[in-house]
Amino acid sequence: MSQLRPSASESSSATEAVSGETTDARVVPTTALPGPRGFPILESTVSFARDPLAFLESAREYGDLARYEAFGREFVVVSDPGLVEQVLVSRSDEFWRGTFEDEFGDQVGLEGVFFATGDQWRRQRLLLQQAFTPARIDSYADDMVSETVRTIEHWDDGAVVDVNAAFSALTLRALSRSLFDLSLDDARAEHVRRWVEAMASVIETDMFGVRAVLPSWVPSRSEREYQRAKTAVDSLVRDLLEDRRDGDGDDLFSLLATAEYPDGSRPSAGEITDQLLTFLLAGHETTATALTYACWFLAGDDAARDSLAAEVEAVCGDRDPRLEDLPELAVTEAIGREALRLYPPLPFLHREPHEPTALGGVWLTPETTVQLNMYGIHRDDRWWADPEAFRPGRWLEDGDDRPTLEDDTDRPEYAYFPFGGGPRHCIGMRFAMTELQLTLATLARRVDVERVTTSLEPSLAVSLDPGPVEMRVQR
């Protein structure tokens, strides 16, 4: 265990003391940091690729700041909520998304708001915010519930269902209806499904898998398959776009098709396609995995399942949940939040400094990738009692599962950040939480679930993918 673990106050004072220079004796170069040491040449690439979650957990053992090398670059892992807040919020102008994630955007051929930077990102963000106002998200609630009911009605009583695949199809349909006012037929949905699967393969094998250690010129089957899938889905979106250019709808698709930037220019067909594909990807895959984890945990926790059922019965009675029920569905929300704590869709975020700067007493250069250890912080026993346990009660003000450690005054704000934070926080956060809450409540009203898959082995793909998760459903 490293002795180089400054307190929050020491980190702050050291940072302030060296703003723009390295004169403070407490500021050290990144090479002075402890951290995992890997094999010659490859460094920690293999260890990270083999099990990124275990790697992030182990990095936390070296302190709030740890250093390692992988994928041909230097990483500094940040496992302190106060330092996360600095990078994402109070000093966000000093950091950008970074070349590591930039290369991912280039590899998958997308320049949507998730991948854009600088003025391009600001223009896109301002434009897209119109589709994510509270009023518009509230208008999507009925679609979320009706698509959940449609999914459940296809499940036979006692059937074994891969809920991860089922929720992926469900959230794709709900997103298509609510944001794009589209009812994807089977052929169209198949194009999107193949594209998402191809992207997951690229991430697993080319970005974080064994191919990451090979030269870029080595042929990649996953890249070829991805390009074929993306060509097909690009064509699908462009065909749909032609029908919207003169439309008067108020969904995201129509907004983009008819929008103008402040300078009077209009988004190109390529820009619109990138935005739609980015939201199709992030908007359905991450919520689907969160639902999968939540249901799997519920199936193994009788007390949580009974609390959920009692709440839904008390609030909804003999009808499905509605938007106006959300404030009263506190247990439902707590279950979703706890699933996101244990398995956040993206277990880490990356940033890089624009210029040399100090963080937590360590001098960073623009060549250093700062890795915000969301997964490790979410499971840190300094901020969470019994951190590995699924305990929805920790989110309830009147719950019996909130020890003193978990009073709001004792936990830093960025001990929990599944949607990021600061200017680049997830624009779809409210949409995702609304869908997660309504879908869980609808499921609780209509079915009970029993584990068939008895253990989870998540892998890093489009999101923190649990893989096939089979459950027996009973009405």
385 located within any domain: yes
Q: Which residues of 32-55 are buried (b: 16+ CB within 10 A; e: fewer)?
A: ebbbbebeeebbbbebbbeebbeb
- pLDDT at position 248 is 65
Here the CATH number for the domain that contains residue 241 is: 1.10.630.10
- pLDDT at position 280 is 76
User: What global pTM score does this model have?
Assistant: 0.85
Helix intervals (H) in 113-268: 118-128, 134-139, 141-153, 163-180, 186-202, 221-242, 252-258
- pLDDT at position 18 is 40
- pLDDT at position 10 is 42
Distance CA(169)–CA(86), nearest Å, equals 37
- pLDDT at position 17 is 37
355 located within any domain: yes
- How many angstroms separate the most distant Cα atoms in the chain? 69
210, 211, 373, 461 from 42: Cα distances, Å: 11, 12, 22, 21
- pLDDT at position 7 is 40
With 0-12 / 13-18 / 19 or more C-beta atoms within 10 angstroms meaning exposed / middle / buried, residue 257 is buried
Tell me which residue has tokens 């893989």.
467
Tell me which residue has tokens 């935005």.
275
- pLDDT at position 71 is 81
Amino acid letter at 402?
Answer: R
54 located within any domain: yes
Number of domains, the chain: 1
- pLDDT at position 363 is 97
- pLDDT at position 412 is 95
- pLDDT at position 22 is 44
Amino acid letter at 120?
Answer: Q
Spatial neighbors of 23 by CB under 8 A, at least 6 apart, are 17
2 located within any domain: no
- pLDDT at position 246 is 65
Distance CA(446)–CA(441), nearest Å, equals 9
Look up the domain containing 73 and give its range: 8-474
pLDDT by 10-residue block (mean), the chain, 475 residues:
39 41 70 83 72 88 94 92 98 88 62 66 76 83 93 95 94 83 71 78 63 55 83 82 69 77 78 78 85 97 96 96 96 97 94 96 96 96 95 84 56 95 87 95 96 92 88 94
Q: How would you classify the pairing of strands 65-70 and 362-364?
A: unpaired
Q: CA nearest 256: which of 71, 425, 113?
A: 113
3 located within any domain: no
328 located within any domain: yes
